[in-house]
Chain A
């Protein structure tokens, strides 16, 4: 990069949200730059998650964005021929107690009223869908259009689509400051030079608050690690992406199973270390709902860093106090699926258009001004 350049829009952060925003902005004919600190896109949470693409088991506020995203995921796969292994074999959200069964029934009614095809299944119907679940599983909510992809390939694919439409991607380019003038960001200062711009998209994930601080603002998010493990390949025992009993299990096309979950919920900060207590818990909790897991071995584990919001619901909004900045962060561990829908929404907001997807429940105004997330954060499992 030469010392000074200009772009219509600068997107900060090359995860699934930032790559998608760059794609939709470039599609609308804007001259967009994406700046990414790492030497590749998707090296943090967007490349470390389990690849689930689901509308099921979400807070109702997120469901419209998830539904819009699934349409875009299908577009990337079917129209643009994206080879990122996107398969729609369904998602099962499991109940293991009577209380959870009642919760799932209520959730199914609520999500159906928003227009999502979710079916509450029990007994023989559940057995037919997923024959290898244990007796501990009493019921499930099933969303047939949900599925999974390879998140590393998916993020790179959308970045490539953005580049094909004219977006410039600056890798190995950390942002060190933002220049302000008259209530607007006028330039993004990077380690390799200054980029003059008319608008900024903050998709820096758990680092989004550091970007907000550069304009004297703050975002109510905190960073927390989460872990995933993968087993040796085994004969097929599972078709859907399942979650319950505080873990999730996902089949892969190579016959390995991914096992992960939200915890530990009391370890905070920017760490990517695995802990023995978590990988033991994956095995114990996973075998309780899918006993066939006992027939294989754990091969490898890894970790990534989440941006957690106070209510564990995604944030998509204009940045308060500055006219030309929008933000998407705080996905709290379920943001990968939302990338394309969030990217489209961010692109619309940058251009002053009303979002075509209902994001009213994702706005920052739902939190009291100046809310300190550390004061309200609870170290307990999120609902899955």
Chain B
């Protein structure tokens, strides 16, 4: 059977998720995110969260609803470095 892509940004498959749980002792969505990179890409998990939760819950044999969402991080959506740098300069001149 072919592997299923769970996170399209980081090309993480259901097999990667299973390895994170079996080989690296991941027990939470945040841990699976940290170990596999699922949800660490450009969409920051907005696209893959439900699918990831379903696969993790199935592997751990628990209810999906019992799994907490991974942490959300600043700046939420990608912000150009050049824009951040301009904002930093403006602050220094204020």
Partner of B35 from the list A152, A254, A283 (CB cut-off 8 Å) is A152
List the 8 shortest-distance A-B pairs measured between CB atoms, nearest first.
A283-B84, A297-B78, A284-B88, A280-B88, A284-B85, A300-B73, A283-B85, A294-B82
Instruction: Give the distance in Å from the alpha carbon of A286 to the alpha carbon of B82 in the complex.
Output: 10
Partner of A300 from the list B10, B40, B89 (CB cut-off 8 Å) is B40
B residues contacting the other copy or chain, number (CB 8 A):
28
Interface residues on A, range: 20 to 34
A235 to chain B, nearest CB (A): 15
A residues 274-312 touching B (CB-CB < 8 Å)? 274, 276-277, 279-284, 286-287, 293-302
A residues 326-365 touching B (CB-CB < 8 Å)? none
The 14 listed contacts between A and B (C-beta, < 8 Å) are: A47-B34, A156-B25, A279-B74, A281-B88, A284-B88, A287-B82, A294-B81, A295-B81, A297-B80, A298-B78, A298-B79, A300-B74, A300-B75, A301-B73
When distances are taken between beta carbons in the complex, the residues of chain B under 8 Å from A153 are 24, 35
Partner of B79 from the list A254, A294, A297 (CB cut-off 8 Å) is A297
Given contacts A152-B34, A277-B91, A299-B42, contact A283 B73 (CB under 8 A): no
Given contacts A40-B25, A40-B31, contact A301 B75 (CB under 8 A): yes
Chain A positions within 8 Å of B, measured between CB atoms, are 39-40, 47, 152-153, 156, 231-232, 254, 274, 276-277, 279-284, 286-287, 293-302
Interface centre among B81, B84, B91 (most CB of A within 10 A): B81
Interface centre among A153, A293, A296, A298 (most CB of B within 10 A): A298
- Given A274-B73, A298-B79, 7 additional A-B pairs, CB 8 A: A39-B28, A280-B84, A297-B80, A298-B81, A298-B84, A299-B78, A301-B75
- In the complex the two chains form, is A232's CB within 8 Å of B78's CB? yes
Given contacts A279-B75, A280-B87, A281-B88, contact A299 B44 (CB under 8 A): yes
A28 to chain B, nearest CB (A): 25
